[in-house]
Amino acid sequence: MLFTSSSRLFLASFALTWAVSTAEPIWRRDDSCKDVHIFLAKGNNEPYPGRQGKLAGAICYGLDSCDYEDIQYYNPVEADYCASVTEGAQNGLSQVTAYAARCPDAKLVLSGYSQGAQIVGDVLGGGGGVFFNNCTQPVNAALDPTTSPGNKIVAALVFGDTRHVAGQPYNVESGAGATGLFPRSAEQLTTLNRFSSVLRSYCVATDPICAASYGSEDATTHLTYFDVYTDAAAGWVKEMVNKAQEQSSTTTTSTTSSATTQSTTQSITTTINTSNSNTTSSSAVPTSYSSAPFGNSTTNSTSSGVSSSTKATTASLSTSAVASSTASTTSAGAGSTTSSSQTAPATIAPVNGATRAQGYTGVILSVMGFLAFAL
């Protein structure tokens, strides 16, 4: 069904009023770094932040440090569709990269609706293709989930995605098995799916944008995602934030413990080596003290006499000297033999313990006519 341009303007005006009236108070970005930072990509012809303002408010509610920013792009009804998504994808990449560089400890959340959903998908998985009116969007690079800023993204959501692909593990709601107007190519999908563990795509079966393959023309369905799913989506994001926080805490604790263990090992070994270097030339402290496991050292040493300085050095290795030792010393001068059966000092135990620890055309025309304001 085709609609006149006046009908499109009326519907666009209606969409604008609705979007403004449903937006709730939210925390817009300032110059400070936040623990949680949200990027919003609005739908076609929406004002910033559009319908997703409600979602951003719900995510930030109850969090001590949270705000959002809009991915900047020009997308009124009359704008060229491909030019808009190209600008959005480029700016999205730049904005996410800049924030992560400035605030490296922040947990990042991306959310996009309709045309904005396509942009979020392009940021994560790369974009490019032929769309409305046969316009062409050039290919853009994608984020890498293993390096910053990709590895700072703890959650990403898309609603009514124009490029929805059926059967993906992150698809939710009744349109999960449907295909959108412009499904992603296999190559783009492979790249996007590297973020599958932090991604959720909302699509209902009667949405003619993300579920175009089901043949519905119910325009209202595409407009109500944030009236129906805001609480559930915000709850999921908070779960992902908490999960990331727990993983970060575990990693920090493990790293700190490992560093402490290595430092302790190095300190003890250095002490032993220093003590050894202080031994007089007449006798060397048995090397088994620093190498054998505690309680398993038996050393027989032959020296040209045990001087008082050597005894002092040995004492420095253990506050109790050698815990258990029997020694028979012949004090006849040069050539005398010292035999000792020794248990390694208790002070050596941490060395060994520390070492172990390291271990379709009609649908498109209808959509552009009837839903131009909501793409």
Higher pLDDT pick, 208 / 295: 208
CA-based torsion, 159, 165, 171, 176: positive or negative: positive
Same domain, 370 and 245: yes
| Mean pLDDT calculated for residue range 312-331 | 37
Q: Is residue 173 assigned to a domain? A: yes
Examine the domain organization and report whether 24 and 112 are in the same domain.
Answer: yes
pLDDT at 298 > cutoff 80: no
pLDDT higher than 60, residue 163 = yes
Whole-number Cα distances in Å, 265 to 261, 318, 350, 358: 6, 16, 7, 10
Same domain, 53 and 117: yes
Total tally of structural domains belonging to the chain: 2
In a domain, 261, yes or no: no
In a domain, 209, yes or no: yes
Cis? peptide before 47, omega within 30° of 0: no
pLDDT at 228: 98
Q: Does 189 share its domain with 136?
A: yes
Hey, is 170 helix, strand or coil? coil
- In this prediction, residue 262 carries a pLDDT of 58
Residue 117 to residues 88, 123, 271, Cα–Cα distance (Å):
10, 10, 61
Q: Nearest-CA neighbor of 207 among 217, 193, 199?
A: 217
Domain assignment present for residue 136? The answer is yes
Q: Kindly report, residue by residue over 84-105, the tens digit of the pLDDT.
A: 999 999 999 999 999 999 999 9
Q: Does the pLDDT value for residue 41 go beyond 90?
A: yes
Residues 313 and 369 in one domain: no
For the chain, give the number of residues: 375
- Say if residues 152 and 196 touch (Cβ distance below 8 Å): no
Q: Do 283 and 196 share a structural domain?
A: no
Residues 237 and 351 occupy one common structural domain: no
Highest mean pLDDT pick, 50-59, 262-271, 306-315, 320-329 = 50-59
| DSSP characters over 176-218 | TT---SSPPPHHHHHHHGGGGGGEEEE--TT-TTTTGGGT---
Q: Are residues 200 and 324 in the same domain?
A: no
Burial class (CB in 10 A: 0-12, 13-18, 19+), 326: exposed
Asked if 82 and 25 sit in the same domain, the reply is yes
Predicted pLDDT at 28:
62
Residue 52 pLDDT > 60: yes
Residue 317 C-alpha from the chain's centroid: 47
Rounded Cα distance between 237 and 157, Å, is 9
- Residue corresponding to tokens 């050095």: 313
Q: What is the pLDDT of residue 248?
A: 78
One-letter identity of residue 172: V
Would 44 be classed as within a structural domain?
Answer: yes
- Would you state the pLDDT for residue 100? 98
In the prediction, which pLDDT does 2 show?
33
- Residue 287 sits in which domain range? 278-357
| Predicted structure pTM score | 0.66
Is pLDDT at 24 greater than 60 in this prediction?
no
Which pLDDT belongs to residue 222? 97
pLDDT value for 166: 98
Contact by Cβ (8 Å): 13, 5: no
CATH (domain of 165): 3.40.50.1820
